[in-house]
Amino acid sequence: MSFTLINRSFFLILSLLSLFSCSTKSVYESIKPNTYEVPLVENIDDEKINIININNNQINYGNELLLKDFKNDTQFFNNIIADNNEIYAYKDKKLYNFDYTTGHLISTQDLTLSNDDDILIAFEKIDNSFLLSFKSGSIFRLNQNFELIWKHESKKKLNTQPFISNEQIILLFGDEIRGLQFEDGSQIWSEIYQNMPIYQATGGQVASFFNIIYFILPNNIIGAIDLNFGSIHNSNFDDIPLISSINNTKDKIHTYDNYLVYIDEGKYLYTFDIFNDEFILFKKNINLFSSSFLFNNSIIIKEGNHLQAINLSNGKTYWLINDNKISKKSEIVNVRNYKTNIEVFLSNGDVLTINNKELTNITNLDIGKIKDVSIKKQNIIVYAKNKKTLIF
């Protein structure tokens, strides 16, 4: 056999081994289980998370109210009103009225406000009237008899639930923020930020501090509006160097006391002192997480079966809980408190109770996976993946 033939055979074998190795690696990477990193703790904060709006009522999660024979396939999880012993739901151009004690359907009423393809963004009760917002940009205010008070139309798509502040309705479109007069629906002010790509198809975010609202638009523009004047409010917060990316779902904005907080890319923490017009934390690197929730003066993050609470004013860790009973693949859906207890709602239906920096109880709502939890003044509304709705 010639040397050339041996050489070719050798290289052929090497090529086959290399190809097999790459294929094996690709298969392994596609089937290997998720791994979760243990959160790093730089400094421990001896203080506790501030508890505000203390609710003395502990919810009995075994005493739920299920809306009977009602498949709730809402997209934005805000189509139920439970208020003053009344329960209303809006779906497919119909208004549903349920019994507050049994959850049985009392009556239905045709309520055609928009076209067939329009999607409900929010259904809210405000000042003895009802506000319905649709993805087409149409907003309707109805009286207690569900008769039209006013209507506001827009040619722009609406993907963010309206924000109510200072008797104004704040609307966030893809490249515009707009203020409407709650009384008659007339436009008071508007700011447009054009020529920027829209990153967030799911909408923007709003946080308020007295008469100032801070916002992030779907096109990744941040800003502030003084509602008393309907004009731009300038501050040193405008200098924040945000990372622009196609997926900014982990970006969050939040206010607590005189602090404005921004989480960029789910990785960098910015805390801004509104009174002193300066950052007290600037691009503070925090642990990566699969889900998080900004709660009072903390951000609670979850990674695997680890739960960590970080102080928003100094970046220190309030507590880090590691418990195998915490579902690894679940995500934080919402957080509330009663008395000195903090309750963390997870997407697998678990409610974690934390007291004095320790996990004291886990209760499952027995409804399957959860899409959203809406915490109101009087009730907690749970939207399940199986299209069931629970009210506590």
Q: What is the pTM of this model?
A: 0.86
List the domain range (segments joined by +) for residue 326: 46-391
5 pLDDT higher than 60: no
User: What is the model's pLDDT at position 288?
Assistant: 83
- Cα gap 73→123, rounded to integer Å: 14
> How many structural domains is the chain composed of?
1
Model confidence at 138, pLDDT cuts 50, 70, 90, reads: very high
Model confidence at 233, pLDDT cuts 50, 70, 90, reads: very high
CB atoms within 10 A of CB 113: 17
Sorted by sequence, the CB contacts under 8 Å of residue 316 that are 6+ apart come out as 42, 43, 44, 45, 310
| More confident: 150 or 242 | 150
pLDDT-above-90 percentage for the chain: 70
In a domain, 301, yes or no: yes
In a domain, 120, yes or no: yes
pLDDT-above-70 percentage for the chain: 86
- Cα gap 313→175, rounded to integer Å: 31
Give the residue among 196, 215, 193 at the shortest CA–CA distance from 206: 215
DSSP conformational letter for 44? B
CATH number at residue 214: 2.130.10.10
In a domain, 216, yes or no: yes
